[in-house]
């Protein structure tokens, strides 16, 4: 069993990079996650490829930028045939298993066009992003589009919450209310407990499901378990005792400046006008909501403590790489914005901790690495961990293994994130058709540059304004910096990311193919032939004549 | 039968834009093609998406840029699932049929991964770019990699050319020679006749095959017949009487300047050093070869005369749109270069004539249109001709139908072409790995700008230097022009071209989806709810309780 290399890939949803005690949060204590960081490396400059669930996750699960895989929005299916995490890991003998959320939307039209039965092995492989769905639960189950078969709802009904067809909403994400349950979609109940108990709530339920899988481990097939929590994503509502474990005095100061409201970039202004921005720009409402968010994180930390202990007792900590991250952050009033969907650090940066018991990684244990890491680096890291070679013609990201081994390798100079705002309620106001609703962020150690076609760019001087308060996007003095960043963005964009059918190795062998095939292009006579060109017997002209 | 709308899509291979009498050639007469232009529109500014067969054709057959479809090189398979011409036209009731060349390379690995049997209907559909292969013949059949089953070889053997397993090479593309047949790959025989007769040579053979298909026309199912000639592509060898129909005195002056050899861009210099460049920069060799090329074009024109007469007699000219074009051009010593693969006009511009008998197009008959047209416009034109709506989320090109109807529509300002030089024999000298061997051309009415990562750019002032002789790519005075063109190139690149799974119409309906689903993001209480948000009965909290 010791030769096996497993991976536990833990993802939270909407967890900010700075809401862990190991990342500097002053009042929130996350000792189990901190202990994981102490056993591995915390990557303090990790960015998601899109500050929203679906596209970000598709980048996590494909190792490709959003404009490479094309699933730019939460309800945009991932094109059938896109290489997913299973395409890369299954051939290496690894079993990728899902417990929780992926936000994967299957390309039903594409499967039909290619004759793929959605219920076949290949169909399920595609529809589940390459994971075996041990328990899939995308977490948000609105009443109006509730799908049948949500196991968690069945569980809650068995527990007696059978007064509504959708106890996910009306038991786990609602409070008692004065006369009737009240939906957690209203943040005015964030400081009240959920109707369910801690044990019955989503995070412990999913943790137990993960432990059930781990208990079934046959000790032979290496697995990748993707434990993907929906929390601390809204509805911001926690069960007792987490609902009031923190209070307004524990909330960190809001991160905003009046200068951000003075003639903001018109696109940023649309974000500042969203309902979530209005709610969380109100200090009282912000301070009433964030404690619930902190409680949900605390609950995750407690559950991970239970999970890690469970694994330790079974010896599974000895042969398992553990990765802890999130799909994006949360503004919570920073920069006068709410929710996510834009490119300031609270939304676009995420925590990333990787701990591996293998002695190869001893040199870096307990360290913090501030290199620019992107979500697309996770799949290539897993491929290398599983003993494979990263296919550079398919994967946009880079394996983090050299950094985990402590090697001083050359690394990328910038990070990229993209956002397709076509679904935003404000998009009709922009007068742009959906395909035009594009935004790009490129950040290096000096500048963060945001390009949105049809709008002036935004620019932040990270040296003198690390808080990202002062938008220099229209300041004539910074034309050179904008040009530098725009050229870097163009360099990034002008790369072949769809040339997936020929590997770099194969391509390297195809040089001068015409000579090798005996196809002479523009040769006048035999004097133009130079070895090693191979040709039939051109002197006789009749190879077999 | 009159309601049916057929399409005859004629493609030549390596035919320069200026080697037709209607396009201004002074000594080459192409009366049948000229007559076609007189019945329709000649588009005098038509560019291919890549100046080489495979990638250019994949753009012709998908309506997508090369970096969109990913088949960047001649032997790079088109990814399975890429929407091809058949995906677009078959659902509209049209039967796309191939006679001749496509250069389509099937994605065998992708088909295997998706469980698609290559011999199944879907497998064949993919492998043939959506065409029904009435007769597929990619034209170049080198001895060393000769595949069995080339029908044209069987035909030649039946005609008595059975002295070699590959009569395509040693009969149709060879001369008698003094003692033995001599390969047409050597240009020193370009002024000698092929061993086969006119009737037996490739262009008449394929024309007869097209007529056989037309003779089988059931008069009901509308068809698109892709008659795709391999000629006038090298080997530059024509059968009698075409081999000496033209002589050195008919060859147009070479189009080059000494200034192009003075400190050229290092990448351009690599092209100037190719064998084909050396051959065709030699005036004597150039003038000995081009007459064969002209003869091959003349032969195509004669064959099209026969074909059009055949169709006229059957009434098929009355309901058939005819398109005539080429996949790229040929340098023939212009700019000190040979063959194609770079971005000067002789390589990247092609002829394009579209003639449609429908009265809707009467206004433009016999006109020349100088708008910027790209190869990717062909498929959307066909879609609209077949009564469909162009799916803008999949197709990068634009339908030419408004231009054919004579409408004064807004149009594109620039054209793009790309080239992946990874297979070039010089690529190892560049020290770049295959994925880095990228070049991009963007041209508007003022400038042509060539960007190759790792090299200085190239820039031509088309107003003052329409001949493209003076490279301003390193001239400090033209920094502004280079920046303008680089930004335009970035704008082009920074577009979503893989978001294929959600149509623009569907995307337009998804705005504000969260409200419609009863998902409230950041709402404090009921006061934040504005119509038309639909929600369950939040007051009672128990929809069915």
DSSP A285-341: HHHHHHHHHHHHHHHHHHHHHHHHHHHHHTTGGGGEEEEEEES----TTGGG--SS-
Interatomic CA distance for residues B271 and B277, integer angstroms: 7
Determine the average pLDDT of the residues in A325-351: 98
Half-sphere exposure of A394 (CA within 13 A, CB side): 22
Contact B545 A163 (CB under 8 A): yes
Interatomic CA distance for residues A543 and A283, integer angstroms: 87
Residues linked to residue A7 through DSSP beta bridges, in sequence order: A224, A321
* Distance to chain B for A364, nearest Cα, Å: 31
Per-residue tokens: A269: 């202004």
Q: Above 60 in pLDDT, residue A56?
A: yes
Band the pLDDT of A145: cuts 50, 70, 90.
confident
Tell me whether A178 touches chain B (CB under 8 Å): no
Return the residue matching tokens 């390969």. Answer: B183
CB A130 within 8 A of CB A61: yes
Reduce the DSSP state of residue B17 to 3 states and report it.
coil
pLDDT in tens, B86-100: 999 999 999 999 999
Is the link from the previous residue into B335 a cis peptide, with omega within 30 of 0?
Answer: no
**In A, which residues are within 8 Å of B434 by CB distance?**
502, 504, 507-508, 510
Which residues are within 8 A (CB) of A107 and not within 5 positions of it... i.e. 6 or more apart? A77, A78, A79, A80, A126, B501
State which residue of chain A sits closest to B178, comparing Cα positions: A540
State which residue of chain A sits closest to B165, comparing Cα positions: A544
pTM above 0.80, yes or no: yes
* pLDDT reported for residue B529: 84
* Distance to chain B for A276, nearest Cα, Å: 4
Cα–Cα distance list, B495 to A49, A191, B31, B378 (Å):
16, 44, 42, 20
Give the closest of A143, A165, A507 to B518, CB-based. A143
Per-residue tokens: B268: 């351009």
Give the closest of B338, B541, B544 to A181, CB-based. B541
The phi, psi pair for A464, rounded to 5°, reads -95, -10
Contact A70 B392 (CB under 8 A): no
**In B, which residues are within 8 Å of A393 by CB distance?**
435
pLDDT in tens, A409-438: 999 999 999 999 999 999 999 999 999 999
Residue numbers of A between 353 and 382 with CB closer than 8 Å to B: none
Tell me whether A62 touches chain B (CB under 8 Å): no
State which residue of chain B sits closest to A527, comparing Cα positions: B186
Half-sphere exposure of A304 (CA within 13 A, CB side): 26
* pLDDT reported for residue A144: 87
Q: Above 50 in pLDDT, residue A2?
A: no
Band the pLDDT of A542: cuts 50, 70, 90.
very low
Domains of chain A: 6-493 (3.40.720.10), 511-540 (no CATH)
Interatomic CA distance for residues A272 and B175, integer angstroms: 76
For residue B157, with 0-12 CB atoms within 10 Å meaning exposed, 13-18 middle and 19 or more buried, which class applies?
middle
Give the closest of B276, B434, B510 to A521, CB-based. B276
Interatomic CA distance for residues A42 and B260, integer angstroms: 55
Which residues are within 8 A (CB) of A218 and not within 5 positions of it... i.e. 6 or more apart? none
Cα–Cα distance list, B57 to A101, B49, B69, B71, B147 (Å):
41, 9, 11, 10, 21
> What does R_g of chain A's alpha carbons equal in angstroms?
26
* pLDDT reported for residue A515: 72
* pLDDT reported for residue A513: 78
Determine the average pLDDT of the residues in A332-358: 98
To probe the interface with B, which of A83, A163, A502 has the most B CB atoms within 10 Å? Answer: A502
Which residues are within 8 A (CB) of A258 and not within 5 positions of it... i.e. 6 or more apart? none
pLDDT in tens, B485-524: 999 999 999 999 999 999 999 999 999 877 777 889 999 9
* pLDDT reported for residue A488: 98
* pLDDT reported for residue B526: 87
**In A, which residues are within 8 Å of B78 by CB distance?**
501
Interatomic CA distance for residues A171 and A156, integer angstroms: 8
Residues linked to residue B161 through DSSP beta bridges, in sequence order: none
**CB neighbours of residue B525 within 10 Å:** 16
* pLDDT reported for residue A514: 74
Q: Above 90 in pLDDT, residue A523?
A: yes
**CB neighbours of residue A143 within 10 Å:** 21
**CB neighbours of residue B400 within 10 Å:** 25
Interatomic CA distance for residues A451 and A480, integer angstroms: 15
pLDDT in tens, A195-247: 999 999 999 999 999 999 999 998 899 999 999 999 999 999 999 999 999 99
**In A, which residues are within 8 Å of B510 by CB distance?**
73, 75, 422-423
**CB neighbours of residue A529 within 10 Å:** 15
**In B, which residues are within 8 Å of A73 by CB distance?**
502, 507, 510
For chain B, how many residues are written?
Answer: 545
Interatomic CA distance for residues B25 and B533, integer angstroms: 66
**In A, which residues are within 8 Å of B435 by CB distance?**
392-393, 495-496, 499, 504, 507
Contact A114 B81 (CB under 8 A): yes
Contact B338 A522 (CB under 8 A): yes
Which residues are within 8 A (CB) of A299 and not within 5 positions of it... i.e. 6 or more apart? A198, A201, A203, A204, A231, A238, A239, A242
**In A, which residues are within 8 Å of B70 by CB distance?**
496, 498-501
* pLDDT reported for residue A541: 45
* Distance to chain B for A392, nearest Cα, Å: 9
Return the residue matching tokens 């417990």. Answer: A99
Interatomic CA distance for residues A259 and A346, integer angstroms: 18
Interatomic CA distance for residues B502 and A433, integer angstroms: 13
- B155's enclosing H/E stretch is helix B151-158
* pLDDT reported for residue A60: 98
Residue ranges of chain B with per-residue pLDDT less than 50:
1-2, 538-545
Mean pLDDT, all residues of chain A: 95
State which residue of chain A sits closest to B333, comparing Cα positions: A522
For chain A, how many residues are written?
Answer: 545
* pLDDT reported for residue A101: 97
Tell me whether B77 touches chain A (CB under 8 Å): yes
Tell me whether A188 touches chain B (CB under 8 Å): yes
- Give CA angle at A276 (A275, A281), nearest 5°: 100
Contact A513 B423 (CB under 8 A): yes
DSSP class of residue A474 equals: T
* pLDDT reported for residue A531: 62
* Distance to chain B for A465, nearest Cα, Å: 27
CB B170 within 8 A of CB B164: yes
**In A, which residues are within 8 Å of B419 by CB distance?**
none
Quick one: which of B259, B260, B276 has its CA closest to B268?
Answer: B260
Band the pLDDT of A493: cuts 50, 70, 90.
very high
Q: Where are the alpha helices (DSSP H) in B401-452?
A: 401-404, 427-430
CB A379 within 8 A of CB A129: no
Interatomic CA distance for residues B76 and B55, integer angstroms: 8
Contact B185 A435 (CB under 8 A): no
Residue numbers of B between 86 and 125 with CB closer than 8 Å to A: 87, 107, 109-110, 113-116, 120, 122
Give the DSSP per-residue string, A348-396: HEE-EEEE--SGGGGGGTTEEE-S-EEGGGHHHHHHHHTT----TTT--
* pLDDT reported for residue B267: 98
Return the residue matching tokens 């075409």. Answer: B242
* pLDDT reported for residue B537: 54
Quick one: which of B370, B293, B346 has its CA closest to B44?
Answer: B370
Cα–Cα distance list, A185 to A246, A412, B522 (Å):
20, 40, 8
Which residues are within 8 A (CB) of A62 and not within 5 positions of it... i.e. 6 or more apart? A68, A69, A78, A82, A83, A84, A85, A129, A376, A379
The phi, psi pair for A135, rounded to 5°, reads -150, 110
State which residue of chain B sits closest to A436, comparing Cα positions: B495
């Amino acid at each position: 069993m010791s030769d096996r290399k497993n991976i536990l890939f833990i993802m939270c949803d909407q967890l900010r990079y700075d809401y862990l005690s190991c990342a500097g949060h002053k009042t929130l204590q996350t000792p189990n996650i901190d202990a994981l960081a102490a056993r591995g490396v915390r990557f303090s400059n990790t960015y998601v490829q899109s500050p929203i669930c679906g596209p970000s996750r598709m980048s996590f699960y494909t190792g490709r930028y959003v404009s490479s895989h094309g699933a730019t929005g939460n309800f945009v299916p991932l094109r059938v045939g896109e290489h997913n995490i299973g395409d890369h890991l299954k051939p290496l003998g690894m079993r990728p298993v899902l417990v929780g959320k992926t936000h994967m939307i299957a390309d039903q039209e594409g499967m039909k066009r290619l004759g793929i039965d959605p219920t076949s092995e290949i169909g399920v492989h595609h529809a589940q992003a390459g994971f075996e769905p041990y328990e899939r639960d995308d977490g948000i189950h609105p009443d109006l589009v509730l799908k049948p078969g949500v196991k968690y709802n069945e569980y809650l009904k068995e527990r007696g919450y059978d007064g509504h067809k959708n106890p996910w909403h009306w038991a786990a994400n609602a409070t008692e209310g004065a006369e009737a349950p009240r939906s957690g979609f209203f943040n005015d109940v964030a400081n009240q407990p959920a109707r369910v108990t801690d044990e019955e709530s989503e995070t412990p339920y999913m943790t137990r499901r993960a432990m059930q899988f781990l208990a079934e481990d046959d000790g032979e097939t290496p697995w990748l378990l993707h434990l993907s929590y929906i929390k601390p994503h809204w509805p911001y509502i926690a069960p007792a005792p987490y609902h009031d474990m923190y209070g307004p005095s524990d909330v960190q100061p809001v991160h905003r400046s009046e200068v951000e409201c003075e003639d903001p970039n018109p696109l940023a202004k649309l974000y500042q006008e969203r309902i979530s921005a209005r709610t969380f720009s109100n200090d009282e409402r912000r301070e009433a909501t964030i404690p619930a968010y902190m409680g949900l994180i605390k609950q995750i930390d407690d559950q991970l403590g239970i999970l890690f202990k469970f694994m330790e007792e079974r010896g599974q900590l000895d042969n398992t790489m553990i990765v802890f991250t999130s799909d994006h952050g949360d503004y919570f009033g920073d920069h006068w914005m709410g929710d996510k969907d834009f490119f300031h650090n609270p939304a676009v940066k995420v925590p990333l901790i990787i701990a591996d018991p293998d002695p190869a990684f001893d040199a870096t244990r307990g360290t913090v690495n501030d290199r620019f890491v992107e979500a697309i680096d996770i799949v290539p890291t897993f491929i290398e961990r599983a003993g494979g070679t990263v296919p550079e013609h398919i994967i946009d990201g880079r394996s983090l293994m050299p950094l985990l081994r402590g090697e001083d390798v050359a690394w990328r100079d910038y990070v990229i994130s993209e956002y397709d705002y076509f679904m935003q309620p404000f998009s009709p106001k922009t007068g742009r058709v959906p395909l035009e609703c594009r935004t790009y962020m490129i950040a290096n150690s000096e500048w963060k540059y945001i390009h949105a076609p049809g709008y002036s760019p935004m620019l932040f001087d990270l040296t003198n304004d690390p808080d990202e308060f002062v938008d220099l996007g229209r300041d004539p003095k910074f034309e050179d910096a904008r040009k530098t960043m725009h050229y870097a963005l163009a360099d990034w964009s002008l790369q072949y990311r769809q040339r997936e059918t020929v590997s770099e190795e194969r391509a390297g062998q195809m040089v001068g193919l015409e000579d090798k095939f005996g196809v002479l292009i523009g040769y006048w006579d035999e004097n133009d032939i130079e070895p090693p060109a191979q040709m039939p017997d051109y002197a006789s002209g009749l190879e077999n004549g």
